[in-house]
């Protein structure tokens, strides 16, 4: 044990916990902050819709404010929202979740993810996840005392995570598999067949699945498979989803978790002490989104699809080979032909041509050699960004002597 004297003699004691020091700040935020200090930048950087929330949803929230709905809600979330959500999941996914014990309304999927890993992990438990993946996955697991185990995914196999690769990494410390498809940053969608193979691994090794399906409604010409609908998977899946992306509601901060009642009770325990409840205005807006947001989502999806086609074709035309993303609103082209690292590419592109993209390396090692371009922005901006990128790529490909 340290005495007072030996404690005083210590030269430097970090005020920050060892666990937090293991985690780096998000590579996305870094670029976001840089862009905010510059003028004339076209941002393909931050992953959020360029639409405002559909008017009927905003109006429902405004009306509720007028009526004085400004208080806390139950920890689990507004009963009306949980009932509506339960109905929605039954109608759209054929899943039955009790609104009283199997659904928890959270402050975005961000909070739901944090609660999920904190609720299930003991120190040193391993969580298997794809690489590249959304920046929070790895950090949330580390902050919860777990160990992220990365499974490389490759463009050649459509950035899908393979069940064999997962199985090869299962140890007696493995607690869960964390997946998020449609994927950020690649736009990959997993086929039902491949998900069934993952379900088989989960079943054989008795693993939990955390499935972040925040982009489930943003798919183009393919079907999204909800993991919890796979045979025998509902009980062992923590299904996360939210309103930020499909309904253009990033600022309202509403997400949810659907899982068995033991897990929801555990997540609620953390939520009640740390967050108490999600904001009531957002919850009221979410009720309206579920009740009558379908047409607005369909319109936005149609528009994203138009932009996706322009972005992917444009990137390929300028020599940045781009895998066809079938979901979310990201293109993930290879920049290997320029000879730069993805961070160099993103920094120079921002400084020289004022186009902001996110380096693929921000999403893990396997993202090196790629950049993430978000196409949830106007067609005019996408076209201008592509023409600036064309000039930039031509300059550097010449410098390193590529055709």
| 392 binding ligand PLP? (CB under 6 A) | no
Q: What does the block give as tokens for 292?
A: 């009558």
Rounded to the nearest whole angstrom, what is the least distance from the CB of residue 265 to ligand PLP in the complex? 22
User: What are the b/e assignments for 354-377, b being 16+ CB within 10 Å?
Assistant: bbbbbbbbbbbebbbbbbbbbbbb
- Bridge partners (DSSP) of residue 237 are 209
| 396 binding ligand PLP? (CB under 6 A) | no
Q: Is the Cβ of residue 326 or residue 396 nearer to ligand PLP in the bound state?
A: 326
Task: Determine the Cα–Cα distance for residues 390 and 403; give it in Å rounded to an integer.
Answer: 14
- Bridge partners (DSSP) of residue 104 are 257
Q: Is the Cβ of residue 286 or residue 350 nearer to ligand PLP in the bound state?
A: 286
**What is residue 151's three-state secondary structure?**
strand
Could you give the string, one character per residue 44-63, with x where binding to ligand PLP holds by CB under 6 A and - elsewhere? ---x----------------
Secondary structure (DSSP) of 252-266: G--EEEE--HHHHHH
User: Which listed range, 1-9, 107-115, 201-209, 349-357, lies at the site for ligand PLP (CB under 6 A)?
Assistant: 107-115
Task: Determine the Cα–Cα distance for residues 59 and 191; give it in Å rounded to an integer.
Answer: 38
| 296 binding ligand PLP? (CB under 6 A) | no
Rounded to the nearest whole angstrom, what is the least distance from the CB of residue 280 to ligand PLP in the complex? 17
| 279 binding ligand PLP? (CB under 6 A) | no
Rounded to the nearest whole angstrom, what is the least distance from the CB of residue 136 to ligand PLP in the complex? 6
Q: Is the Cβ of residue 23 or residue 170 nearer to ligand PLP in the bound state?
A: 23
Return the C-alpha torsion angle 280, 282, 287, 292, nearest 10.
Answer: 150
Cα torsion 161, 133, 311, 227: sign: positive
Secondary structure (DSSP) of 272-297: HHHT-S--HHHHHHHHHHHHH-HHHH
User: Which listed range, 60-68, 102-110, 287-295, 333-341, lies at the site for ligand PLP (CB under 6 A)?
Assistant: 102-110
Rounded to the nearest whole angstrom, what is the least distance from the CB of residue 79 to ligand PLP in the complex? 21
Q: What is the number of the residue whose Cβ is closest to ligand PLP?
A: 108
User: Which listed range, 73-81, 108-116, 199-207, 317-325, lies at the site for ligand PLP (CB under 6 A)?
Assistant: 108-116
| 382 binding ligand PLP? (CB under 6 A) | no
The residue count for binding ligand PLP (CB under 6 A) is 13
| 212 binding ligand PLP? (CB under 6 A) | yes
User: Which listed range, 106-114, 283-291, 300-308, 311-319, lies at the site for ligand PLP (CB under 6 A)?
Assistant: 106-114
* Nearest one of 115, 138, 144, 119 to 275, comparing CA atoms: 115
Rounded to the nearest whole angstrom, what is the least distance from the CB of residue 13 to ligand PLP in the complex? 34
CA 95 to chain centre: 22
Q: Is the Cβ of residue 184 or residue 361 nearer to ligand PLP in the bound state?
A: 184
- Which residue's structure tokens are 């690292």? 341
Helices in 67-191 by DSSP H: which ranges? 79-93, 108-120, 135-143, 163-167
| 242 binding ligand PLP? (CB under 6 A) | yes
| 102 binding ligand PLP? (CB under 6 A) | no
**What is residue 157's three-state secondary structure?**
helix
- Which residue's structure tokens are 């736009």? 187
| 180 binding ligand PLP? (CB under 6 A) | yes
Rounded to the nearest whole angstrom, what is the least distance from the CB of residue 241 to ligand PLP in the complex? 8
Q: Is the Cβ of residue 136 or residue 236 nearer to ligand PLP in the bound state?
A: 136
| 184 binding ligand PLP? (CB under 6 A) | yes
Rounded to the nearest whole angstrom, what is the least distance from the CB of residue 108 to ligand PLP in the complex? 2
**Residue in 130, 132, 255, 359 binding ligand PLP, rule: CB under 6 A:** 255
Task: Determine the Cα–Cα distance for residues 382 and 307; give it in Å rounded to an integer.
Answer: 8
| 108 binding ligand PLP? (CB under 6 A) | yes
- Bridge partners (DSSP) of residue 239 are 211, 258
Task: Determine the Cα–Cα distance for residues 359 and 154; give it in Å rounded to an integer.
Answer: 16
Q: Is the Cβ of residue 93 or residue 184 nearer to ligand PLP in the bound state?
A: 184
Secondary structure (DSSP) of 338-386: GT--HHHHHHHHHHHH-EE-EEGGGG-GGGTTBEEEE--S-HHHHHHHH
Q: What does the block give as tokens for 115?
A: 């609660």
Given the rule CB under 6 A, which residues bind ligand PLP? 47, 108-110, 134, 180, 184, 212, 214, 242, 244, 250, 255
């Amino acid at each position: 044990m340290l005495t007072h004297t030996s404690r005083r003699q210590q030269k430097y004691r970090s005020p920050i916990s060892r666990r937090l020091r293991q985690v780096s700040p998000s590579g996305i935020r870094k670029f976001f902050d840089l862009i905010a200090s510059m003028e004339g930048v076209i941002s393909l950087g931050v992953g959020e819709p360029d639409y405002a929330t559909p008017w009927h949803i905003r109006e429902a929230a405004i009306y509720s404010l007028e009526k004085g709905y400004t208080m806390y809600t139950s920890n689990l979330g507004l009963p009306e929202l949980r009932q509506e959500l339960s109905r929605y999941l039954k109608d759209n996914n054929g899943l039955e979740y009790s609104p009283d014990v199997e659904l928890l309304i959270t402050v975005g999927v961000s909070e739901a993810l944090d609660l999920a890993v904190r609720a299930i992990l003991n120190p040193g438990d391993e969580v298997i996840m794809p690489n590249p993946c959304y920046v929070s996955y790895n950090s949330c697991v580390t902050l919860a005392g777990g160990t992220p185990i990365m499974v490389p995914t490759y463009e050649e196999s459509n950035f899908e995570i393979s069940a064999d690769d997962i199985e090869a990494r299962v140890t007696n410390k493995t607690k869960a598999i964390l997946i998020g498809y449609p994927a950020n940053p690649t736009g990959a969608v997993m086929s039902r067949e491949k998900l069934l193979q993952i379900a088989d691994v989960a079943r054989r090794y008795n693993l939990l699945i955390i499935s972040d399906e925040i982009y489930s409604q943003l798919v183009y010409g393919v079907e999204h498979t909800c993991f919890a609908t796979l045979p025998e998977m509902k009980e062992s899946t923590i299904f996360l989803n939210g309103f930020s992306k499909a309904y253009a509601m990033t600022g309202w901060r509403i997400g949810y978790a659907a899982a068995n009642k033991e897990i929801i009770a555990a997540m609620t325990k953390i939520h009640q002490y740390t967050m108490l409840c999600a904001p009531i205005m957002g919850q009221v807006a979410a009720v309206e989104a579920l009740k009558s947001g379908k047409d607005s989502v369909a319109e936005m999806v149609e528009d994203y699809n138009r932009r996706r086609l322009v972005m992917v074709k444009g990137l390929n035309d300028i020599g940045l080979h781009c895998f066809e993303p079938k979901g979310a609103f990201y293109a993930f082209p290879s920049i290997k032909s320029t000879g730069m690292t993805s961070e160099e590419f993103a920094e120079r592109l921002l400084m020289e041509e004022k186009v902001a993209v996110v380096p693929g390396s921000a999403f893990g090692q396997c993202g090196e050699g790629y950049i993430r371009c978000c196409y949830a922005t106007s067609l005019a901006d996408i076209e201008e960004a592509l023409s600036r990128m064309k000039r930039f790529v031509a300059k550097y490909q010449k410098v390193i002597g590529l055709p």
